[in-house]
Structure 1
């Protein structure tokens, strides 16, 4: 996957996230009758950063959201919930699901993850023809990818390390360096891929 593709996904996720996060932080802060300065002192997050978050002028890392949630005594899920906390069900049709192909055209990545979490969590449906190869550039430092094989057999190479996995097996590997997924065994492969970005690991 090219850096441009990943940047476009991150940009889209940032817009989706910032659209409601700021309002939620401000609402919770006011519910606890806390000033910006008081929340900054309790969370360890700079007052100016909190102000920017509330005005939707910046997109915080998961580590920052975690610190704010601790200070507000709520879960991260609550902070990331919609401003009105109403239940919802979202549906993305097959036509609307973004799809990315490898350079050889044999590997297909369907972006099935939620755009609101794309800055720290990316989720894909991976399908590939025999001998297909998906080469990726290094992601953010500290990022980890998990590849769970449903059908077929794949081989993952990271630097000089190589490991194979078949149905029911999962490979976890650092993806903050160039890496590649290759389909082996002469049969098509199907897997789910989840990428935890640096913010999720709070390294």
Structure 2
């Protein structure tokens, strides 16, 4: 069965592990990173212990200080198939406005992504043969309902749901409601 993510909310444990990992990788102390980011050392210590509730601005400052992509804070190693339901996933919020960002998938190093809009109607499933090795597909369903994913274990999605799966295995997209459409990203590594 496909792995499902926990409900939306601040992903403190994932952020904490990423901050510790990246600070260690850079060979920097808590004080050095806090100074570079313009935050208190105690704030960084809380974040690394998973007890802080960081704003989007604080996280960006830490990414700059650690010379890392923002997605590196929120994107733990991914399972082969990943489903994120609407309203779920790692969310961070801005401090100054009603703005929230949910990371669905980060681009791995040395990869290319193609973006497509998919429209489909009920009646015939689109079965795809495996693509070249290392390909991943990401689908964000915008409207309707669809059965999407690996041919042997497709997942029913509703509007707003996200799934990723290896595109180098047989897979399917089957619309279950009229007017179904989605965004498809094909990632080549």
TM tier relative to shorter chain: 0.3 to 0.5
Q: Which has the higher helix share?
A: 1
Question: Given the two structures, how large is their TM-score scaled by the length of structure 2?
Answer: 0.44
Question: Given the two structures, how large is their TM-score scaled by the length of structure 1?
Answer: 0.41
